[in-house]
Structure 1
Amino acid sequence: MKPTLTWSLPLAVFLVACNAPSGTFAATPVYPDELLTTPGTPEVVAKGLEADGYALALSAYTWGYPLVRMERVMRDYIDVPSPKPPTSYRAPLNQTGWATALATSDAKDMPTANNDTYYMSTVLELSEPYVLTVPDTRDRYYVVDMFNMWQELEHYVGRRVTGTKAGRYLIAPPGWKGKTPAGMKRLDISTNKVWLWGRLQVKQGEDTAPVLALQKQFSVKPLSGKTSAAASLPPLPDIGNDEFGFFKHLAFALKSTDIKPADKALFAQFERIGLKKEGFDPGKLSEPTRKGMARALKDGPAVAMASLASTSSVRNGWNWATGLDSFGYNYPLRALVAGPYLGGQGEREAMYPIRYTDSDGKELSGANRYVVKLSSAPPVNAFWSLTMYNADDKMLVPNELNRYKVGTDTQGLKVAADGSITIPIQAAKPDGENSANWLPAPNGPFYVILRMYQPRPEVLDNTWKMPQLTKAP
């Protein structure tokens, strides 16, 4: 009796392949698949739960941070101090506030504030449409940005987009079906609250009385004409030292802000860490999951900060970020802008190249002296400025001249015969022919931003080259 042959599946596949017509042989590839051999031991499960908690919490942080930030900022900006400092732009809910002085090192509301414009802030709860009225600024630069609750810039009103003639704009809440009155342009907002963030140019040394008078001609009023002086926003939950306080604030914010359809699948994953549209409940979470979530909240800010490096380009040592009004799915960058760069605009309105290091890649510090040499004034349709900031708190730097930037309107700015501009950057006042262009630095770490308002194409396409920042001997 002949012995019975038992073929394994791989052997059978091999023999079939060998009997295939000439030229058609193909070995079946074998791919590594560790899931097939991973045991379900308690140790493995604990490791997986921690990793899952970490991944989901990190994603939820970068996705949801702008919403939490906007809810917190809105409550800050409608809390008007008494007396109100001239650099403050705070105003009650549904009212317009203007700063009546340029930001200084004493102004702490806004990180990375400019020293070029008076700021305007208006927080609107869109229970009905509102009408924004703007005056004729006679070509003076201004812009009013309209941010939804995800810190996404949905509309510009101002010199570049709508011109500087007088105008009226209807700010419509989601789903509003009414008729736009004659003489108004309708601007739809995708969330039920909106932040209007304005800038009005002030030139160094000019008489500010006409500018202050111009501010009073901007207004935001409900379409119905009815006002409620007592209106305010409900307080955020008191989270104390709760390690998951961020998620409690996020859950609170989500009760009044719809999740965008494109984000619903992502958000559904967060149920595994206790975050749902109805609220945040960590009560049923395992200890490994909680451990991973806590670690994610500590790493989240670094992930957001790293987005600048991963999604921006570098031009001669400057971080060059675009798309600040079109984040798409880049949630870490959106989180970063909502944090220390709150209110940032798209590149056609303004560019904000940031410099953290010198030409040798070393961190900038007031312990050293530096020089920036521009081949020419930056090509812009508005104006430019190079502004100094402390690295730790991202605020303007106090100095003996009360000078926080060098730019278009710097009085006595020295321009060389070839059009170049040399700017000394150091803590102590310099000597020499370019001392009039001194940009004072702190004693410790700092960074600088070269703002270019309404940059021309040669700025955006890199025809005009960014200046190098070098350490002086």
Structure 2
Amino acid sequence: MASSSDHYQELANLEMDGGYPTADTTRTLDEELYFQRAVQVYLWALPAINMYAMKKGLGELSGYGHDVMSVTEKRLKPNTLITTPNSDVIYGLTFADLSKTGPLVIDAPPMLQALIDDFWHRPLTGPEIDGVQYLGDIGLPGPDKGAGGKYLIVPEGYEGEIDSDEYFVFTCRTNGVFIFVRGFFSSVDDLSPGVKAVEGIGIHPLGQEPAPITFNPISDTPANALFPADGGYFDMLDEFIQSERIDRDDAYMHGVLAALGIRKGHTFAPTDRQKELLDLAGRTGWKMAKNVAANYASDEKATWWEDRQWVAHVKTEKDDFMHTLLDEEWRSRETGHTDVTAKVHMFVNHYSISTGMVSAIVGLGAKYGDAYKDSNGEFLRGDNTYTINMPADPPAGLFWSLTIYDAETAAGVDAPGQTYSSLNSMDGLEENADGSTTIVVGPQRPEGTANWLRTVPGRGFFSLFRFYGPTQRFFDRQYKPGDFVRTS
């Protein structure tokens, strides 16, 4: 098999006749350009197709529309294939379509924590109040600050009357609206407070009487809400583009998309050879994205701490956790340019974004960190056994958790006999004499081990810590989780 350098040399050395390409050169370069454009489109469109795949996958279970919500009433289990879900809260997920409903009203009950994104995974733009610009947040991190209130979602360019005194108004750039609700509980033996919080929300079109939402339980029903890792990705992308309004952001990449044959109002009809190239590009793009994520700790300013493998979703300086270097659309706060590596890492393995997820306000939202490698810089593998130490008093006002995810699917590790692929501070974890908590992660429980997460031999995995309601100790950099240390 020719090396990659040979391939590049062959391209560079293709024959030109008097400044014009030969027939063979034209064919080779045309196919190469189509393939390269398709790979870049795969990476660029991950935020949208991650979202659209969730809509389709959960819609097959619960149905579609603003008045349907999928609820993980027994917490989210590994049988739900979705990127890095949280098994330690109750989820409610609704996918609305403004082209069918018009402006939507959300009645937020007190103490709700929710967010609203458009279908390119951009947080909806809300009001600016007392110098604070709200982006995507409802409830505790939103403008109602947990008191409850009425929200109005309008499409960009909406010219109807809006009562800004009655509603917190948010603008959406797409037809699709992702409404994502989290419900919290204080005991793993009683999930009802979390379910009640999620099912307290109301959603209805503006000008219509509120109608009951259908809350469909999905915890025990297998679901596949993952995006394709092959040529099927481009079929899904075309379906998405046809369902949406024309997006005005990133005109160049939309032009690249059009060069592949995907345009609003046009039939996507690739030739047989183009279908082959699209399949190769889809498989290549997925692997490129996974490679970016697996090695993201090597990217500039990607890790939380210099001597740890934990990476941040939105980059920060090592000596300043109070400010993020990227905004809610993964653009540099200095230049406004997209950090394409950070964005690929986010949306190949994760979903949802709002200011509350990246804020540097003590007690607000959450802080997250991913680990793909152990303390020696080797990938985490299900055949090995590791320990990880969480020092005493983790900086979480609500709770903290550690979850393990399959390296391929980014869904929870589905190990025999393990209901959830996570441990949290409500689980009655055994502490060490100094107050720290040691968790063992591996295929077999070592004798005498209390805190254990089971892995699957032959499968890679990665991990995510969550600190909900981060305390001052986190922002002051007084707390540092341990790395995964291989013991066998």
Q: Over residues 274-304 of structure 1, what are the superposed CA-to-partner deviations in whole Å (9 max), with x where a residue is unaligned?
A: 3333325456x795x7665443222111222
Answer yes or no: is the 8 Å Cα contact 1:374–1:466 preserved in 2. Answer: yes
2:454 aligned with 1:440: yes
Q: Report the CA distance shift for 1:134/1:169 in structure 2 as closer, same or farther (over 3 A).
A: same
Deviation of the 1:118 alpha carbon: 0.5
Q: Distance in 2 between matches of 1:391 and 1:271?
A: 32
Q: Report the CA distance shift for 1:100/1:461 in structure 2 as closer, same or farther (over 3 A).
A: same
Answer yes or no: is the 8 Å Cα contact 1:131–1:171 preserved in 2. Answer: yes
2:142 aligned with 1:161: yes
2:283 aligned with 1:298: yes
What residue number does 1:466 align with? 481
Question: Does the residue aligned with 1:397 lie in a helix, a strand or coil?
Answer: coil
Q: Distance in 1 between matches of 2:278 and 2:190?
A: 54
Q: Distance in 2 between matches of 1:397 and 1:103?
A: 12
What residue number does 1:131 align with? 105
2:203 aligned with 1:225: no
Q: Over residues 394-415 of structure 1, what are the superposed CA-to-partner deviations in whole Å (9 max), with x where a residue is unaligned?
A: 324345464532222121x233
What residue number does 1:319 align with? 311
What residue number does 1:364 align with? 380
Amino acid at match of 2:312: W
Q: Report the CA distance shift for 1:48/1:414 in structure 2 as closer, same or farther (over 3 A).
A: same
What residue number does 1:247 align with? 234
Answer yes or no: is the 8 Å Cα contact 1:131–1:169 preserved in 2. Answer: yes
Answer yes or no: is the 8 Å Cα contact 1:356–1:447 preserved in 2. Answer: yes
Q: Distance in 1 between matches of 2:192 and 2:232?
A: 46
What residue number does 1:42 align with? 23
2:98 aligned with 1:146: no
Q: Report the CA distance shift for 1:311/1:120 in structure 2 as closer, same or farther (over 3 A).
A: farther
Q: Over residues 191-233 of structure 1, what are the superposed CA-to-partner deviations in whole Å (9 max), with x where a residue is unaligned?
A: 112010111112333433444444432111122115899xxxx
What residue number does 2:183 align with? 200
Q: Distance in 2 between matches of 1:79 and 1:337?
A: 25
2:89 aligned with 1:117: yes
Amino acid at match of 2:358: E
Matching of residues 276-355 of structure 1 within 5 Å: 276-282=263-269, 292-308=277-293, 309=296, 310=299, 313-314=302-303, 315=305, 316-322=308-314, 323=326, 325-328=328-331, 329-330=338-339, 334=343, 337-343=346-352, 346-348=357-359, 349-355=365-371
Answer yes or no: is the 8 Å Cα contact 1:379–1:456 preserved in 2. Answer: yes
Answer yes or no: is the 8 Å Cα contact 2:139–2:147 preserved in 1. Answer: no
Q: Report the CA distance shift for 1:38/1:378 in structure 2 as closer, same or farther (over 3 A).
A: farther
What residue number does 2:41 align with? 60
Normalised TM-score (structure 1)? 0.75
Answer yes or no: is the 8 Å Cα contact 2:412–2:421 preserved in 1. Answer: no
Deviation of the 1:60 alpha carbon: 2.1
Matching of residues 369-408 of structure 1 within 5 Å: 369-393=385-409, 394-398=411-415, 400=417, 402=419, 404-408=421-425
Amino acid at match of 1:223: L
What residue number does 2:445 align with? 429
Deviation of the 1:92 alpha carbon: 4.0
Q: Paired residues, what number? A: 411
2:76 aligned with 1:73: no
Q: Report the CA distance shift for 1:406/1:452 in structure 2 as closer, same or farther (over 3 A).
A: same
2:168 aligned with 1:185: yes
Q: Report the CA distance shift for 1:249/1:208 in structure 2 as closer, same or farther (over 3 A).
A: closer
Q: Distance in 2 between matches of 1:136 and 1:179?
A: 23
Amino acid at match of 1:276: R
Q: Distance in 2 between matches of 1:383 and 1:95?
A: 31
Q: Report the CA distance shift for 1:165/1:278 in structure 2 as closer, same or farther (over 3 A).
A: same
Normalised TM-score (structure 2)? 0.73
Answer yes or no: is the 8 Å Cα contact 2:302–2:312 preserved in 1. Answer: yes
Answer yes or no: is the 8 Å Cα contact 1:172–1:186 preserved in 2. Answer: yes
Amino acid at match of 2:243: S
Aligned to 1:173, which of 155, 159, 163? 155
Q: Distance in 1 between matches of 2:480 and 2:281?
A: 39
Q: Distance in 1 between matches of 2:327 and 2:371?
A: 18
Question: Does the residue aligned with 2:441 lie in a helix, a strand or coil?
Answer: strand
Greater C-alpha radius of gyration: 1
Deviation of the 1:77 alpha carbon: 2.5
Amino acid at match of 1:254: I
Answer yes or no: is the 8 Å Cα contact 2:43–2:285 preserved in 1. Answer: yes
- Root-mean-square deviation over aligned CA pairs: 3.4
Higher strand share: 2
Amino acid at match of 2:58: Y
2:465 aligned with 1:450: yes
Question: Does the residue aligned with 1:52 lie in a helix, a strand or coil?
Answer: helix
Q: Over residues 374-431 of structure 1, what are the superposed CA-to-partner deviations in whole Å (9 max), with x where a residue is unaligned?
A: 22343134321011233344324345464532222121x2333433222222232233
Higher mean alpha-carbon deviation, 50-59 vs 331-340, is at 331-340
Q: Which runs of 5+ in 1 are unaligned?
A: 1-33, 81-89, 230-240
Deviation of the 1:263 alpha carbon: 1.5
What residue number does 1:103 align with? 76
Q: Distance in 2 between matches of 1:463 and 1:36?
A: 66
Q: Report the CA distance shift for 1:440/1:424 in structure 2 as closer, same or farther (over 3 A).
A: same
